[in-house]
Structures are given as C-alpha cells and as structure tokens.
Chain A
Amino acid sequence: DAGVIQSPRHEVTEMGQEVTLRCKPISGHDYLFWYRQTMMRGLELLIYFNNNVPIDDSGMPEDRFSAKMPNASFSTLKIQPSEPRDSAVYFCASSLGGTFQPQHFGDGTRLSIL
C-alpha cells in the first residue's frame, strides 16, 4: 500500500525565493498534518486539515507560510518569501479518524534556504 508521498525530498534555494512543498496523503485518510522539525525546536505542528478544510493553523509561523488542500489527495505548503531560518525538515502526515488514531508520516522534505 502506498504511504504518504512528499515531494521534493530535498530543496535548496536562496532566500527570498518561493518554496512549494507537496503531499499526497494515504488514500481514504481524512486528516492531513504539516509538521516542521529542527534540532532546536523538535517536531512542531504547523497546520492540519480535516476533509480538506483547515482546522488549526495556529502553528504557522507567520504570513509567509500558507497551506492549501484543494482535494482529498493533495496538499501544498508554500513559503514566500523564504528565509534561512525556515531551513528544516518538513513532514506531512495523514490519519483516519483524527485524535484517537495514529498518524502516518511521509519521508519528509529537507529544506535548506541559503
């Protein structure tokens, strides 16, 4: 069975550029989560969707970050403009049923902003 699929696996870009990260959740899952992980701050929840609707975006650092889920099988996380402090590993995860169910993670996107 296909797991959560993220692209790209690695992204290196210069500050000020727009970055778009992509995620395809596990088919049938109704929750999708975006996380950021750094050594200093650990795993941070940025935003999550339920049935394609954003439920909690309080973890989004600032207006430079935006996320969309146009349909049940695709989501994007966009950073514009990017800054060096955005360098991190970004994970997408999905689950079926929310709070009482475990989340399944994609391989992550390793982002470096120069």
Chain B
Amino acid sequence: RKEVEQDPGPFNVPEGATVAFNCTYSNSASQSFFWYRQDCRKEPKLLMSVYSSGNEDGRFTAQLNRASQYISLLIRDSKLSDSATYLCVVNIPGSARQLTFGSGTQLTVLP
C-alpha cells in the first residue's frame, strides 16, 4: 500500500459546483497534513494545513478522519481559477523522509 494515495482524476466540474477530494494515508501515527495546489508548469504552493477539528479558508474546507486515515478537501462555488492539481501531503513518523507528497488530483473547472 502506498504511504499516501490520491485519486488522480481528472475531475471536470462546471463553474459553481462543489467538489471534494480524498487522500488516504497508511501510517496511523501521522500528525501533519497539508493540501498544496500546483498549476501547470509551476511550483507546488501551500493551500492550507489540515487540523484535527477541521478548518475552513473561504471556499475551501479541509477535514481529517483519523479513524479511516484520510484527509479531504472540499471546494465550494468552484471558480475557473481553481483548475489545478491538488496534492495532499502527510508526515510519515519513523521515516527520515519528512513529508510525503501524494501524486495529486487534477481538477478542471469548466465554464
């Protein structure tokens, strides 16, 4: 099983739609979780951290489900500018390799 797994998509949604992505992780002791977005031919950029109680930043909501070992990202009222690849990032305790990046979920918001 991969340490961090994401549905690669692509997710194609109309403008204004709500879309959600999940990301599963294998190590139950993981404690740090982040969502990054990466635009085509650009660097990954931090979108938001994921806190135990869940957190919201404008149209974006991140949730953590420790029992099922996944994190989620919900985007409400999606905009054309939300089109990007979304990477989940998880720390792997006991590994020297610090944070592990998922392979990303591609989102295209259609007009």
Instruction: Mark A residues whose CB is within 8 Å of B.
Output: 31, 33, 42-43, 45, 48, 55-56, 58-59, 91, 98-108
Contacts and interface: CB of A to CB of B under 8 A. Distances in A.
Interface residues of B, number: 19
Contact of B91 (A42, A100, A105, A107): A100
Contact of A56 (B46, B49, B97): B97
Contacts of B31: 100
B87 A99 contact: no
B29 to A, nearest CB: 12
Given A99-B32, A100-B32, A107 B43 contact: yes
A90 B14 CA distance: 33
28 contacts: A33-B98, A42-B101, A42-B103, A43-B87, A43-B103, A45-B97, A45-B98, A45-B101, A48-B98, A55-B96, A56-B96, A56-B97, A56-B98, A58-B96, A58-B97, A91-B43, A91-B44, A99-B32, A99-B98, A99-B99, A100-B31, A100-B91, A101-B32, A102-B46, A105-B43, A105-B44, A105-B45, A107-B43
B86 interface: no
Contact of A43 (B34, B97, B98, B101): B101
Interface of B: 31-32, 34, 42-46, 49, 87, 89, 91, 96-99, 101, 103-104
Given A55-B96, A100-B31, A108 B43 contact: yes
Contacts of A104: 46
Nearest to B43: A105
Contact of B99 (A59, A103, A107, A108): A103
Given A100-B31, A103-B46, 7 more contacts: A43-B103, A102-B34, A102-B99, A103-B99, A105-B43, A107-B43, A108-B43
